Amino acid sequence: MDEPKTIQFVPARFLESFLAVARELLLRPVRFFEQLRPSGSVFGPLTFLLVCLFISSLLVANVTGASMPLFAALLVSGVVAAVLGTICLHTILISPLFNARLPYEATLSVIAYASIVDLVAWIPLLDIIANMYGLYLIYLGFKTIHRLPPLRAGLAVFLAVLQIGILRLIMIKLTAPQWLDSLIQAIESSSMPA
């Protein structure tokens, strides 16, 4: 029987493989994660993550009228938080507690490929749907690649979001404090009763 075609992001075939991965993640995410075979190299998944975060950071910085430092803060904080959060998640939880046998690259691949939602998560009204779909992709990825039971996959998603979110907020607070403070003020003022 023929082996199913593996679809992964290959930077050497940038546009073709990016669009193929995006299509699979949007239309057939279960199949995508079932056929995903982490190669031992983080170059492809990290490049995919970087591209998604680059585009979304650029769009957020432009739409908000912010400066280059905000763009850099969003991009760097996103990449560093994803990588460090994944290291913590994999070495502390997924590998030892959940007895997962695959290497760190498998966990990073799930987080990196789920970043496809960042391309539209900055758009008001689409943000909630995109972020929920991103959580679903991470859940599917952990459940499928690491063969985790549903409850453990859900716990891994919760902890991944918590770790990556906290790391990203800390990094943005350190690199773009004025923007974060103005964002918090805008959120607080919009939630005040009239």
Determine the pLDDT at residue 133: 95
Structure tokens at 154: 């859900």
Half-sphere exposure of 93 (CA within 13 A, CB side): 19
Q: What SS3 state is found at 41?
A: coil
% the chain with pLDDT above 90: 31
pLDDT in tens, 114-152: 999 999 988 888 888 998 999 999 999 989 988 888 988
Q: Are 45 and 113 in contact (CB under 8 A)?
A: yes
Give the model's pLDDT for residue 2: 47
Quote the pLDDT of residue 115.
Answer: 94
**Residue 6: its H or E element:** none
Q: Report the C-alpha gap between 123 and 118 in whole angstroms.
A: 10
Token look-up 């280059």 returns 68
Look at residue 74 and tell me whether its pLDDT is greater than 70.
Answer: yes
Mean pLDDT of the chain: 83
pLDDT digits (tens, 9 = 90+) for 41-62: 888 999 999 999 999 999 988 8
Q: Using a cut of 0.85, tell me whether the model's pTM lies above it.
A: no
Structural domain spans, the chain: 14-24+42-177
In angstroms, the Cα distances linking 128 to 26, 68, 74, 94, 118 are 16, 26, 19, 27, 11
Q: pLDDT tens digit string along 7-30?
A: 788 889 999 999 999 999 999 999
